[in-house]
A = this chain, B = another copy of it.
């Protein structure tokens, strides 16, 4: 009988279906066999962001690789709403945190965006993606946001799809009911844009406010750090137009 190890969850890229064979890479093999001390016959949970969650059995365990076989589906796949989170990168730890929180809060895509006052000039998208995967593994999620390479705000707005709305968190906006503004705008494809620590530039605010697809939203009377603003904005959106209702 399999030991009760099924609390261990692993993100894999292989397709998952009954009897599917899943090869482990070196890091995964080390984690399962050296760190967690699992052996052939033990069970873990696997997800790939598309096929839900599967209980899988270890059928080969070696130092640098291993093979699992998917046994039964334990969660069906649930895609989060079609929501993008765009943010101006900040200090490393807080940027990692935004990726983690976007995953927990059910964003489908995470996009670092360079604005005029963005202090950080480089972002490691791979590192952000790893934080998204880790959050999904630990929180029992079946979906992982895709993380895009950083782009300038200019480019993001120039390429903006015609059928998507933009919730732009405007620190200069005063009051107003954020939920009501979202409900009025409606639609099911959105992006949330969080500004940098120094705020948007005056030019950027003018530009953003003039966009026909943009909804400026106030996040209250206190200045929020960017990571707090990200969670707050995702909450308002999910509770109003997303899958919390």
Contact = CB atoms under 8 A, between A and B. Distances in A.
Given A104-B225, A236-B239, 8 more contacts: A78-B221, A105-B232, A139-B224, A220-B242, A221-B243, A232-B232, A232-B234, A235-B235
Interface string A223-240: 111001001101110110
A85 to B, nearest CB: 13
Contacts of A150: none
Contacts of A177: 239, 245
A106 B232 contact: no
A49 B242 CA distance: 37
Interface residues of A, number: 34
Contacts of A235: 231-232, 235-236
A242 B178 CA distance: 13
Number of copies of this kind of chain in the complex: 2
A127 B78 CA distance: 40
Interface of A: 78, 80, 101, 104-106, 138-141, 175, 177-179, 218-225, 228, 231-232, 234-236, 238-239, 242-245
26 contacts: A104-B222, A104-B224, A105-B222, A105-B224, A105-B232, A106-B220, A106-B221, A106-B222, A138-B225, A139-B222, A139-B223, A139-B224, A139-B225, A140-B223, A177-B245, A179-B179, A179-B239, A219-B244, A220-B242, A220-B243, A221-B243, A228-B231, A231-B232, A231-B235, A235-B235, A236-B239
